[in-house]
Amino acid sequence: MAANKNIPVTSSIRRWLLPCFALVFIATIAWTYQPDPIPMGPYQLVYPANFGNRINVPDDNPTTQQGVYLGRMLFYEPLLSANGKISCGTCHQQALAFTDGKAFSEGVDHTLTPRSSMSLANLLWARKFFWDGRSESLEKQAAVPMTNPHEMGQLMQTSAHKLMKTAPYPELFRKVFGDEGIDGPNIMKAIAQFERTLISANSKYDQYLRKQYQPTRLELQGLALFENAPQPAKSIRGANCARCHGGAKTYMELFHNNGLDSIPKDIGIAELTGLPGDRGRFKVPTLRNIALTAPYMHDGRFKTLDEVLDHYSDHVKRSESLSPFLRGESNEVNGKSLALKPEEKKAVIAFLNMLTDSTFVTDPRFSDPHQNIAKNK
């Protein structure tokens, strides 16, 4: 600084003028220039350690940021349906934990789906998809509702053709899949990549497991009932929910006949296997965000969680294929049903409400990007 003391003021200004000009010029360019908004590179799937690492990502479809970006666009893209009005997001709405609040969903031909739309959360760990587990990957699953004439009702080739003519898809597909371009398998791969990012891990229950939330007395009572199998001889009361819904993910990939009917109208996985023991057996759904995903069961027969609890407590119907753990489990000695008390049902529901993850259902990363684009225009 001492060396600059003798320099005249005017010369100093002149010296600074040029860099300042250059700065203003660069800033102006940056302001008008639209930087590439598409993130590139591997996608970091972030989840709690207690969810375990038994994830299901096919070797030929690694998760990338650009793939997830494209998948999200496609998930909410009505062009993928025959009438241009239905997207995956129609039956899987974020605010309802990716269900549609209906027992059955209406397709392009105005018929109703035979089963209720499933909640989408923590699919990264799933290995069997649909109520009957017929698909072993999200990639294969995606093709079914898209091409089913009663759902989205459009051939994959037609979808690919429509996307080829719609900006920014040709460029986006090139960024994700290189020269392979737009085709059926790549549409499904991108959607699957997005669906794998739908990780819900911030409910009050997760916070409790992380020791960041102190449950109420009622919630704790509900948790104990949820986890315990009834043992009346030892005076242990239980609702036995964790038998199927236990663990940090409240989700185990099991298929059960939970006693909805003696003679089921929908025979569930028996339709695929032909085994008598599989009649009325359906996938055990996740309980994550369960308070948001009514109506319940594969056919949406129960409108409220109270009805669900009443079913398991008092109305399980016997049949040859009824799952063994629902036979004769009771809180009463020699009891025929679970026989939960009204306040116990209330406690279990209080715990189930702890599974609502409000950050998940409002996370902007999972919302409809087309709406955001429309809003910003």
- In the complex, least distance from residue 178 CB atom to another protein, rounded to whole angstroms: 29
Is 322 an interacting residue with respect to another protein (CB under 8 A)?
yes
Assign 374 to helix, strand or coil: helix
> In terms of CB distance, is 182 or 269 closer to another protein?
269
Q: Report CA-CA distances (Å) from 276 to 66, 267, 281.
A: 46, 9, 10
Q: Which residue bears the tokens 């369960």? A: 290
Binding-site residues sit at 88, 91-92, 241, 244-245
Counting residues that bind another protein (by CB under 8 A) gives 21
Is 276 an interacting residue with respect to another protein (CB under 8 A)?
yes
Q: Label each residue of 322-364 as H, E or C.
A: CCHHHCCCCCCCCCCCCCCCHHHHHHHHHHHHCCCCHHHHHCH
Q: Are 259 and 316 in contact (CB under 8 A)?
A: yes
Assign 282 to helix, strand or coil: strand
Q: Report CA-CA distances (Å) from 224 to 169, 269, 331, 339.
A: 50, 32, 14, 16
**Residues 6+ positions from 73 with CB-CB distance below 8 Å:** 169, 172, 369, 370
- In the complex, least distance from residue 110 CB atom to another protein, rounded to whole angstroms: 28
Is 42 an interacting residue with respect to another protein (CB under 8 A)?
no
Is 38 an interacting residue with respect to another protein (CB under 8 A)?
no
Is 255 an interacting residue with respect to another protein (CB under 8 A)?
yes
Round to whole Å and give the CA distance between 159 and 187.
9
Is 134 an interacting residue with respect to another protein (CB under 8 A)?
no
DSSP element (H, E) containing 243: helix 242-245
- In the complex, least distance from residue 55 CB atom to another protein, rounded to whole angstroms: 14
- In the complex, least distance from residue 253 CB atom to another protein, rounded to whole angstroms: 5
Is 281 an interacting residue with respect to another protein (CB under 8 A)?
yes
Is 243 an interacting residue with respect to another protein (CB under 8 A)?
no
Is 229 an interacting residue with respect to another protein (CB under 8 A)?
no
User: Among 43-51, 79-87, 254-262, 333-341, which window interacts with another protein (CB under 8 A)?
Assistant: 254-262
What would the two tokens of residue 328 be?
């004769």
Is 338 an interacting residue with respect to another protein (CB under 8 A)?
no
- In the complex, least distance from residue 62 CB atom to another protein, rounded to whole angstroms: 17
φ/ψ of 255, rounded to 5, equals -125, 125
User: Among 44-52, 117-125, 321-329, 369-377, which window interacts with another protein (CB under 8 A)?
Assistant: 321-329
Binder among 71, 133, 153, 238 for another protein (CB under 8 A): 133
Residues in the chain: 377
Binder among 273, 330, 337, 367 for another protein (CB under 8 A): 273
Is 275 an interacting residue with respect to another protein (CB under 8 A)?
yes
Binding-site residues for heme c sit at 88, 91-92, 241, 244-245
Is 320 an interacting residue with respect to another protein (CB under 8 A)?
yes
**Residues 6+ positions from 96 with CB-CB distance below 8 Å:** 292, 293, 361
User: Among 5-13, 18-26, 59-67, 317-325, which window interacts with another protein (CB under 8 A)?
Assistant: 317-325
User: Among 43-51, 230-238, 270-278, 330-338, which window interacts with another protein (CB under 8 A)?
Assistant: 270-278
> In terms of CB distance, is 180 or 320 closer to another protein?
320
Q: Are 303 and 188 in contact (CB under 8 A)?
A: no
Binder among 77, 132, 139, 278 for another protein (CB under 8 A): 278
DSSP element (H, E) containing 255: strand 255-256
Is 52 an interacting residue with respect to another protein (CB under 8 A)?
no
Is 128 an interacting residue with respect to another protein (CB under 8 A)?
yes
Q: Report CA-CA distances (Å) from 216 to 26, 150, 213, 219, 309.
A: 57, 46, 9, 5, 20
Binder among 204, 256, 288, 311 for another protein (CB under 8 A): 256
Report which of 20, 180, 89 is spatially closest to residue 371, judged by C-alpha positions: 89
Residues in the site for another protein, rule: CB under 8 A? 128, 133, 253-256, 269-270, 273-278, 281, 320-324, 327
